[in-house]
Structure 1
Amino acid sequence: MGGQEILLQELDGDGVLRVTLNDVARRNALSESMLGQLTRVMQAASSDRAVRVVVLAANGPAFCAGHDLKELTAARAAPDRGREYFARIMSSCSALMQAILSCPKPVIAEVSGVATAAGCQLVASCDLAIADEGASFSTPGVHIGLFCSTPMVALSRNVASKHAMEMLLTGDMVPAARAAEMGLVNRVVPKGALRDATMEMARKIAGKSSMTLATGKRAFYEQRDMAIGEAYEYASKVMVDNMLARDAEEGINAFIDKRAPHWQDS
């Protein structure tokens, strides 16, 4: 790599942390190194009070091409034909996706180019996603005899079952407009407008109480797979605790007084 950083970070004055995949030569593949670095960045962002929103972006023609197949193939030379290495990489990838979900800060994918296999999984694992009109998505493992089982976990929790199965069974490339129709991305913008559109959304969210955002994100994912009665019971308790928070009291008073709120993030 000639000393090139494969992951770039930039924190602006609004608390938006831009994390940019920069392994252009490998199409920003989720190599062992990339998985480790991304996970550490997400863990650090989770506890950094200066970070209010995380944007995942990428340099080059690919957002993320999934796992590094050359690394995986090289591991087959081991006596166990790569079993231990494959298990470690899949565990590392799962840990990254869960680090995104458990991060109390909203995470937005800024997608230009292709997002395939675990790259599509990365997009689906983010809380929000904005793509430019040239972006495309696929889970193409079936083309090479490898069903995209781990990308399936994130994909099936973001789009309807039949849409997910179509992507998984055919491996077809899905253009950005169709991905928006399916719910894989929030919106599609013209090429050249992607960064501005993403940062506009990120800064809008960053202006809210970080306590409120963390409460809401955690509650959203917790209640999603509960039975309806259990979900309402859980969400009601969350609302009560939220109502007693200082930022909720301040926000309600500011609304009544017709003034801007002053968040304490607590």
Structure 2
Amino acid sequence: MNAPSDALVRVHTDNGIATVTLNHPERRNSLSMAMLEALSEALSGVAGDHQARVVVLASAGHIFCAGHDLREMREQFDSQDYQLRLFQQCSKVMQQIVNLPKPVIARVAGVATAAGCQLVASCDLAVAAQGTRFATPGVNIGLFCSTPMVALSRNVSRKHAMEMLLTGEMIDAEHAVNIGLINRVVAPETLDETVYALANTIAGKSAHTLKIGKEAFYRQLEMPLADAYDYTAQVMAENMKANDAREGISAFLDKREPSWKHR
């Protein structure tokens, strides 16, 4: 599936990798209602695309995502219904990323602030170029980053999350790696090479196995320890029934490359 080049969100699938690109650089790829709806539609399409085994979330221009569109929000100051619908739509998109049955890698360059930082934190993996900066600066404009806090606090330690939320200050990519917000920081000229090498590595695995593992990862996180072990034991026992598990184990023992059927 491929979206038009002038769409708010472009989608291009090649070699098992779907690149979903925020495509409104004139507005800093801000998450307006229209952008959120377009992103939601793109994610739904990718979820059902059997050719796509890994998703790269990227952006056009020099800013990854500056968060919500404040001009649009100001125009709707008196509509609490609109404000609620906006934040609910944003929350829906973040949950779509987490619930997508395929790994999602954020390709980050420039700036990712507020809901843009939330977008990065919601992805399964994230690679950023040197010079990229992150922040949850809502506190600076009287609007605490409460929904970005959900994704942020589930990816970095409480004290690091609170420092970002309470100060609103920018952090650089190197610090973002240290606190667990992103996986890697690389030179800008090697960003694409690194992201797509990582995506290709993952795309070479069984799509069925990746789906099982991603779902189990997020479900067990919220469970008490004993419940998590009970749940994941059941997941592994069920996983063993899959064609790809049997093929993978046999290939390993026979010292050959597996031939995945993705089931």
TM-score computed with the length of structure 1 as normaliser: 0.96
Q: Which of 5, 8, 12 is matched with 2:7 structurally? A: 5
1:158 Cα offset (Å)? 0.2
What SS class does the counterpart of residue 62 from structure 1 fall into? coil
Other-structure match for 2:195: 198
Other-structure match for 1:261: 258
1:4 Cα offset (Å)? 3.5
Report how many residues are paired: 259
What SS class does the counterpart of residue 76 from structure 2 fall into? helix
Structure 1 CA distance, aligned partners of 2:62 and 2:51?
31
Task: Supply the AA of the counterpart residue of 1:9.
Answer: V
1:59 Cα offset (Å)? 1.4
1:6 Cα offset (Å)? 2.0
Deviations 1:81-117 (A, max 9, x none): 1200000000100000000011000000000000000
Deviations 1:56-86 (A, max 9, x none): 011112100000011111012xxxx120000
Task: Supply the AA of the counterpart residue of 1:8.
Answer: R
1:174 Cα offset (Å)? 0.6
Deviations 1:114-167 (A, max 9, x none): 000000000000000000001110000010000000000000000000000000
Contact 2:104 / 2:125 at 8 angstroms: preserved in 1? yes
Gaps of 5+ in 2: none
Structure 1 CA distance, aligned partners of 2:129 and 2:74?
32
1:5 Cα offset (Å)? 2.4
1:21 Cα offset (Å)? 1.1
Deviations 1:156-209 (A, max 9, x none): 000000000000000000100000000000000001110110000001000100
Structure 1 CA distance, aligned partners of 2:183 and 2:256?
30
Task: Supply the AA of the counterpart residue of 1:62.
Answer: I
1:46 Cα offset (Å)? 1.1
Other-structure match for 2:59: 58
User: 2:213 aligned with 1:216, yes or no?
Assistant: yes
Alignment root-mean-square deviation, CA: 0.9
Other-structure match for 1:67: 68
What SS class does the counterpart of residue 208 from structure 1 fall into? coil
Gaps of 5+ in 1: none
Structure 2 CA distance, aligned partners of 1:229 and 1:251?
28
1:29-108 → structure 2 map (5 Å cutoff): 29-76=30-77, 81-108=78-105
1:10 Cα offset (Å)? 1.2
Contact 2:9 / 2:42 at 8 angstroms: preserved in 1? no
User: 2:252 aligned with 1:250, yes or no?
Assistant: no
What SS class does the counterpart of residue 213 from structure 1 fall into? helix
Structure 1 CA distance, aligned partners of 2:18 and 2:6?
20
Other-structure match for 1:26: 27
Structure 1 CA distance, aligned partners of 2:23 and 2:239?
39
Task: Supply the AA of the counterpart residue of 2:10.
Answer: L
Other-structure match for 2:231: 234
Structure 2 CA distance, aligned partners of 1:10 and 1:182?
32
Structure 1 CA distance, aligned partners of 2:49 and 2:59?
22
Structure 2 CA distance, aligned partners of 1:236 and 1:4?
47
User: 2:185 aligned with 1:188, yes or no?
Assistant: yes
1:253 Cα offset (Å)? 0.2
